[in-house]
């Protein structure tokens, strides 16, 4: 049996997440508060000013919640998985689980990543359900929506697109007419994993250069390549920087895992969104 832990990303946030875990990890909560400059407990349990919908707050909240779920699981089982992966921001939790960096370093990275992304305004994302990737690409090409990119390939028939908010909203009718079962505009505050994050990539790369990362002790399957992360520090940094402008290749990531001997998945976080995607692929 091959044990695989997967960590959810943006879209998994909800008011009250990790509320039962904060009292169990007071030192990590204090570390988070010190690093962030605000109360992580208040953010996750009370959502002041609806901050959980803003990426500079969403990303740290998800990272901390996922981390506490992982540390609790580790405490209870005293076992580590054979492989890990995370969806977008969840990849930082996968790298944490693989001991590439510690909790506080990961939070520093996520804080900077979220703040840089929040500075790129006017973008949006939508999930196109019921169409394959080639069909989505054909619709974009034939309809003339040249400003829209494929951001996430979550499953065979679930593709997330990103681009200017006006284009995303106008594209809904085009995709529904092309046979999409659903077109869902996502609760995110930018066009993530698209060309519009180029400035973020450059700034984040410079920030990453101030850190030193360890070789992963557990294979971490990367969003950008759908194969395990490289071992060298410079290549890890390059992959993390590229992630913000690249498609999340989640479908291929799951396919990589399904080819392993008797894969057993466990989602570690405040949602089951990845579990549902994996179960769908297993059925197919």
Q: How confident is the model at residue 20 (pLDDT cuts 50, 70, 90)?
A: very high
- State what percent of residues in the chain have pLDDT above 90: 94
Give CA–CA dist 272/266, Å, rounded: 9
Check if 69 is active-site: no
The structure's pTM equals 0.96
Q: 18 exposed, middle or buried (CB, 10 Å; 0-12, 13-18, 19+)? A: buried
**Tens of pLDDT along 227-240?**
999 999 999 999 99
Q: Which residue(s) pair with 152 in the sheet?
A: 160, 248
Interval 77-81 mean pLDDT: 95
In our burial notation (b when 16+ CB lie closer than 10 A, e otherwise), range 201-229 reads bebbeebbeeeebeebebbbbbbbbbebb
Of the residues 12, 87, 193, 239, which is catalytic?
A: 193
**Tens of pLDDT along 247-263?**
999 999 999 999 999 99
Structure tokens at 88: 């977008």
Of the residues 69, 87, 88, 189, which is catalytic?
A: 88
If residue 185 lies in a helix (H) or strand (E), which one and from where to where?
Answer: strand 182-185
pLDDT value of position 189: 80
Give CA–CA dist 168/173, Å, rounded: 10
Structural domains of the chain sorted by starting position, each given as residue range(s) with its CATH number in brackets? 2-119+194-283 (3.40.366.10), 123-185 (3.30.70.250)
* Residue 276, number of CB atoms within 10 A of its CB: 12
pLDDT value of position 176: 98
Residue 278 pLDDT greater than 90, yes or no: yes
Structure tokens at 260: 């392993």
Check if 118 is active-site: no
Average pLDDT, the chain: 96
Is the pLDDT higher at 270 or at 175? 175
Lowest mean pLDDT among 9-13, 21-25, 70-74: 9-13
Q: How confident is the model at residue 37 (pLDDT cuts 50, 70, 90)?
A: very high
**Tens of pLDDT along 115-140?**
999 999 999 999 999 999 999 999 99
**Tens of pLDDT along 91-122?**
999 999 999 999 999 999 999 999 999 999 99
Q: How many CA atoms lie within 13 A of 179 on its CB side?
A: 8
């Amino acid at each position: 049996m091959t044990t695989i832990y997967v960590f959810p990303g943006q879209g998994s946030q909800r008011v009250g997440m990790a509320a039962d875990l904060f009292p169990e990890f007071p030192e990590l909560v204090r570390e988070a508060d010190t690093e962030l400059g605000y109360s992580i407990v208040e953010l996750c349990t009370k959502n002041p000013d609806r901050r959980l919908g803003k990426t500079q707050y969403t990303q740290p909240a998800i990272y901390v919640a996922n981390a506490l779920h992982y540390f609790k699981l580790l405490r209870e089982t005293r076992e580590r998985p054979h492989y890990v992966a995370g969806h977008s921001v969840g990849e930082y939790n996968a790298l944490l689980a693989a001991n590439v960096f510690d909790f506080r370093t990961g939070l520093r990275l996520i804080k900077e990543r979220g703040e840089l992304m929040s500075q790129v305004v006017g973008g949006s994302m939508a999930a196109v359900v019921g169409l394959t990737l080639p069909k989505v690409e054909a619709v974009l090409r034939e309809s003339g929506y040249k400003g829209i990119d494929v951001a996430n390939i979550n499953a065979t028939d679930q593709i997330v697109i990103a681009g200017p908010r006006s284009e995303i909203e106008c594209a809904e009718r085009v995709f529904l007419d092309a046979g999409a079962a659903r077109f869902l505009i996502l609760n995110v505050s930018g066009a993530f994993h698209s060309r519009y994050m180029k400035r973020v990539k450059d700034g984040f790369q410079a920030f990453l250069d101030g850190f030193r990362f360890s070789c992963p002790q557990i294979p971490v399957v990367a969003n950008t390549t759908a194969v395990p992360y490289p071992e060298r520090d410079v290549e890890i940094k390059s992959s993390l920087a590229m992630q913000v402008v690249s498609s999340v290749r989640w479908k291929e990531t799951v396919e990589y895992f399904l080819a392993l001997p008797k894969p057993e998945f466990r989602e570690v976080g405040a949602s089951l969104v990845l579990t549902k995607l994996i179960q769908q692929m297993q059925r197919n």
